[in-house]
Structure 1
Amino acid sequence: MDHPHGGFDTAEGVSVWVVVVRLALLLVSALIAGSGLAVTVPKGVRAANFALAAVAAGLITVSLVAFDAHVLGAVAHGVLVALVPVLLGKPAVRWVAAALTLLLVIETSVGDSGLLLVANTVYVAGAVAWVALALTPGARFRQHALSLGVVLALAGLVRLVSSGLAFDRRIYETVLGLGLVVVVLLPLAALGIRRCGTLAVVASLLAWSGLAAIPSPQELPIPGVPVLASAGGVPVLISPHRPGPNLVHFPSGNHRVKVGDGPEIAAVPSAGADGTWALVDLPAGRGEIRVNDDFGVSFDTGTAPGPAADVECASAALGGLASGRRDVLTSCPADELSTEDADSLTKLVTFLKNKGVTSVKLVEDGTPRGVRAAALVRSSLPVSDSGDALVVLSGWSDGYRALSRAGVEQAESPVHPHGLYVAPWLLTAPIATSVTTLAVPLRFDPREQLPIGYAIEVGNEFGGTNPTPAGFRSWLGGRSAGDQVQIYAVAQVTAMPMGPGEAHGPGMPMQEELAGQWVPKATVVPVSPVLS
């Protein structure tokens, strides 16, 4: 949940002024509709209705001019609020008032369906009916008001329960939770009271409609489940979400992070990874980090230890969160060499030997995955600093730096005449574009529907971030990406090369900067048959 210092925080992309104008128009229209539905109205109501209709016309004009409101809907709204005072006292006014009430239900139900749509219909129509009852002299007010108040409270209770906030602390810790409580309790507080009760019901109607403009609160943090939240509209990832060192990740930009009374820590780029990262120490238990000193993101690290704070591990966690799962992070990709990656590297070695490569230069690291991967290559190919090919088996940071150096060397002279190769887990946009071209053994085609779907989904979830193999594997959640290995070339070119008669890559027309691309401004295409 965002906790800004002062001001009313609205849902992302919603202007405060839009909310103010729409709530004011709702209030005025509900009063007009209620007076039109009243059995009889006191003297002076007609004049008041003309004044309210003039206010509504002004608000509708502002909505059209400043906020790009729907023209037909605005015109219909304006006609109905103008007709009610004109027809007041005549039988036809009730039909017009009923139509205006229906329009208010439609305008406040955008995006609702099923039980929520029913609840919204009941709440809006019930509030208008209360106004009509209060304006009718001599009506059996207390008896009818009791029924209406209970109905409104029940509709509010439906919305409260369906929000998912009813049974946890967010009901009293967040603006949305408090608003939901208001729409339940205010109608009950108004029971049997004509004037003050009507004000309470009108206020509850405004609160009901204003709920749509309040951002949804952050999911309650669970120890060990990386936190994906928003800080002023900026996505934030906290991983591994355990006591001790944690990475706070942003898609891009200059952001600062503060924990408690500690110093502010700047988020900076990390070699081989997208976005910016801040390494912070989180205490055990519940707390909150401050982002740019303006927004808070809650955490609950628990007390148990967790995996290391690692950028690839965080990317894997983000893939799982983008798929809707909230799994406890117990290990990182570099903790072991998976069966699939071992098979891919074995086939890469065979491919290199068949090409005539007699030795390779290895870039490795000390992680369990890196040690096993290096041993696998060494068991089949000699290793030397002047190898025919460079094979990178390290993590992201070391791989990025090694390839950047190799790219400079290759530009001066072909140090590795058979080219540069990376392990399957190193297909990140920064690594792939650190050199003019490289090759990678993959079990999936990045141009196909499933990888593109993941790339789009994770980009939408986290500010346009690029996909990664670690994130893709977590996003798949145990599903197989494929069992056939091919060598793919990654090249920084703007045209998609296709072989004679080859079908166009699914979802990948010949232009750059397309949603779902694994490496922007580059191509990723197979350059080998399926390896056996």
Structure 2
Amino acid sequence: MHNHGAVGLPLGFTLLRLILLGAVTVAAGWALVRPFAPAASGAVTRRVVTGAAGVGGVVVLLIAEATWMPSLAAVALIGLLAVPPALRRDRPVVAALVVAAAVLATVAAGAWFSGPPSSFAYIALMAAFVGVSWLALCPPTALVRVVGAALGVALLAGLGQVTVTGQLTTPAAGDPLLTRVALGGGPVDLLVVPHMPGWNIVHTTDVPLSVGNAPNALVPALPRDGTTGRWALVWLPEGRGDLWLDRGGARTTVPVDTGDVAWTGPDVRGPEGPDYASAVLAAKLTGRRGDLPWPALTEADAAALRAEVAAIGGPFSVVADGSRRAAEAMEVVRAEATRLGHAVTPGSSEVLVLGGTPPPGARHHPAPWLVPPDLTTPGARRYAETLSAAFPGATPSRSGLAAWSG
């Protein structure tokens, strides 16, 4: 149903990440070492540092996908990064630094009002690359050395921030995404299924929050009957992007990469969605991809339903949701009730539950897939323990145990 193509990080993004790491190493290393080097930088050193800083700044611009940055500011930024490598000798650059500060202030203002939460770290990286690039052309005065060291620290801090927040990691395209993020003073676990273009199930820890594909398109994640945690439905476009999360005014983004192959399975907005997500979660915890069949009525389920109809005896009512599995189960139940001569009567005190919310005050007989799994075996206990550690609050399910067992 997934029709997956190649798995793994996109090659282009991987190369950008490697280039960024190399550029930070060169620029930050030079800036932090320079206070201890009394002589001015040679021509070769200046070219290497200004070139690495220029390339690094442009790579940050690409990785950030900075659509929130004003176009003129982006052009000016690229210009400020491109000019230093072309200069042949060192020179005072106080005026140039003033221009750089003005441009970066404009960029920062644009990020402050419209950028993602990670934009501050990207701005810090861009500003530090610009500063190092121009400082490499300055005579080695005490002020230049101190400012350079500060910019070196800013480069390392900015790189550390975007790394810790996961902005330099892209999930495998089209494979269900399981991750944990820090938001609003605590961790939030997140499962995105199928993590493909179109409608996606977003399953989160049981905390009040909203999710969406843009800061102005957030929807609340809500509890669902018969499940744990919270659930939301989010439309995701093709390719790389961000999933936005808001918890009490604190916001963050999670990198997503849905690929370019649309989901061909049933509509994830249907009633079976959470059951499917539970199985996907268990499969992800084993290290597998999570490409699983959609929940369906099995022969074992049908046999168990026939046994339940026989055990109930007398009149009973049936509660079902709109899922295909419940519809197929209803046919089995009605056929068995007819064969045994048992009446299916709405409002009876005995209720066979195939899905949905059963009425209060009645005696409920849940379908096999609604019954908690047997967790007495060693494998089942490992599943429950791993699930509790990886996604606190999630309850083991029969579909999850089946996926865990492989």
TM-score, length-scaled by structure 2: 0.55
Moved more, 274-283 or 256-265: 256-265
Deviation at 1:223, TM superposition (A): 4.3
Per the alignment, residue 372 of structure 1 pairs with 328
> Structure 1 residues 186, 284: CA separation in 2 closer, same or farther (over 3 Å shift)?
closer
Describe the superposition over 1:93-120 as per-residue Cα deviations: whole angstroms up to 9, x where unpaired. Answer: xxxxxxxxxxxxxxxxxxxxxxxxxxxx
Cα distance in 1 for partners of 2:215, 2:274 equals 26
Cα distance in 2 for partners of 1:178, 1:462 equals 33
> For the Cα contact (< 8 Å) 2:211–2:244, is it kept in 1?
yes
Deviation at 1:300, TM superposition (A): 2.3
Per the alignment, residue 332 of structure 1 pairs with 294
Deviation at 1:249, TM superposition (A): 1.7
Larger RCO, structure (CA 8 Å, separation 6 or more):
2
Match of 2:197 among 243, 250, 253: 243
For residue 359 of structure 1, what is the amino acid of its counterpart?
P
Any idea what SS the aligned residue of 1:362 has?
strand
Deviation at 1:186, TM superposition (A): 7.3
Cα distance in 1 for partners of 2:300, 2:202 equals 30
Cα distance in 1 for partners of 2:285, 2:392 equals 12
> Structure 1 residues 448, 288: CA separation in 2 closer, same or farther (over 3 Å shift)?
same
Structure 1 alignment gaps of length 5 or more: 1-163, 411-418, 429-443, 478-532
For residue 455 of structure 1, what is the amino acid of its counterpart?
A
Deviation at 1:427, TM superposition (A): 3.2
1:279 aligns with 2:236: no
Deviation at 1:221, TM superposition (A): 3.0
> Structure 1 residues 448, 213: CA separation in 2 closer, same or farther (over 3 Å shift)?
farther
Describe the superposition over 1:457-496 as per-residue Cα deviations: whole angstroms up to 9, x where unpaired. Answer: 112111332212222222222xxxxxxxxxxxxxxxxxxx
> Structure 1 residues 299, 471: CA separation in 2 closer, same or farther (over 3 Å shift)?
same
Cα distance in 2 for partners of 1:282, 1:236 equals 15
Any idea what SS the aligned residue of 1:242 has?
coil
> For the Cα contact (< 8 Å) 1:245–1:279, is it kept in 2?
yes
Match of 2:223 among 269, 288, 291: 269
> For the Cα contact (< 8 Å) 2:198–2:262, is it kept in 1?
no
Deviation at 1:253, TM superposition (A): 0.9
Cα distance in 2 for partners of 1:424, 1:313 equals 15
Any idea what SS the aligned residue of 2:305 has?
helix
Cα distance in 1 for partners of 2:365, 2:382 equals 26
Match of 1:346 among 288, 297, 306: 306
Per the alignment, residue 166 of structure 2 pairs with 217
> Structure 1 residues 216, 279: CA separation in 2 closer, same or farther (over 3 Å shift)?
closer
Match of 1:296 among 253, 258, 273: 253
Cα distance in 1 for partners of 2:156, 2:21 equals 6
Deviation at 1:337, TM superposition (A): 0.7
Describe the superposition over 1:433-476 as per-residue Cα deviations: whole angstroms up to 9, x where unpaired. Answer: xxxxxxxxxxx632332222111111211133221222222222
Deviation at 1:184, TM superposition (A): 8.6
> For the Cα contact (< 8 Å) 1:179–1:207, is it kept in 2?
no
Structure 2 alignment gaps of length 5 or more: 1-7, 42-144
Alignment of 1:502-521 (within 5 A): none
Match of 1:425 among 362, 365, 369: 369
> For the Cα contact (< 8 Å) 1:224–1:306, is it kept in 2?
no
Describe the superposition over 1:277-321 as per-residue Cα deviations: whole angstroms up to 9, x where unpaired. Answer: 222222223211111162111222224234322222222221111
Cα distance in 2 for partners of 1:340, 1:475 equals 18
Per the alignment, residue 351 of structure 2 pairs with 390
For residue 369 of structure 1, what is the amino acid of its counterpart?
R
Any idea what SS the aligned residue of 1:295 has?
strand
> Structure 1 residues 328, 380: CA separation in 2 closer, same or farther (over 3 Å shift)?
closer
1:311 aligns with 2:274: yes
Deviation at 1:338, TM superposition (A): 2.0
> Structure 1 residues 180, 317: CA separation in 2 closer, same or farther (over 3 Å shift)?
farther
> For the Cα contact (< 8 Å) 1:259–1:288, is it kept in 2?
yes
Deviation at 1:327, TM superposition (A): 3.1
> Structure 1 residues 250, 173: CA separation in 2 closer, same or farther (over 3 Å shift)?
farther
> Structure 1 residues 183, 346: CA separation in 2 closer, same or farther (over 3 Å shift)?
farther
Cα distance in 2 for partners of 1:225, 1:295 equals 22
Any idea what SS the aligned residue of 1:345 has?
helix
Cα distance in 1 for partners of 2:163, 2:173 equals 26
> Structure 1 residues 420, 236: CA separation in 2 closer, same or farther (over 3 Å shift)?
same
* Rg (Cα) greater in structure: 1
Any idea what SS the aligned residue of 2:380 has?
helix
Cα distance in 1 for partners of 2:220, 2:382 equals 32
Any idea what SS the aligned residue of 1:348 has?
helix
For residue 169 of structure 1, what is the amino acid of its counterpart?
F
Cα distance in 2 for partners of 1:252, 1:453 equals 22
Deviation at 1:168, TM superposition (A): 6.3
Moved more, 444-453 or 242-251: 444-453
Cα distance in 2 for partners of 1:455, 1:472 equals 9
Deviation at 1:367, TM superposition (A): 2.6
User: Taking every aligned residue pair, what percent have the same amino acid on both sides?
Assistant: 28
For residue 420 of structure 1, what is the amino acid of its counterpart?
H
For residue 196 of structure 2, what is the amino acid of its counterpart?
R
Per the alignment, residue 58 of structure 2 pairs with none
TM-score, length-scaled by structure 1: 0.43
Deviation at 1:214, TM superposition (A): 5.7
Cα distance in 2 for partners of 1:320, 1:348 equals 30
Cα distance in 1 for partners of 2:402, 2:28 equals 49
Alignment of 1:63-142 (within 5 A): none
> For the Cα contact (< 8 Å) 1:223–1:328, is it kept in 2?
no
Cα distance in 1 for partners of 2:175, 2:285 equals 13
> Structure 1 residues 186, 213: CA separation in 2 closer, same or farther (over 3 Å shift)?
closer
For residue 373 of structure 1, what is the amino acid of its counterpart?
A
> For the Cα contact (< 8 Å) 1:234–1:463, is it kept in 2?
no
Deviation at 1:179, TM superposition (A): 5.1
C-alpha RMSD of the superposition: 4.1
For residue 13 of structure 2, what is the amino acid of its counterpart?
R
> For the Cα contact (< 8 Å) 1:265–1:278, is it kept in 2?
yes
Deviation at 1:173, TM superposition (A): 5.1
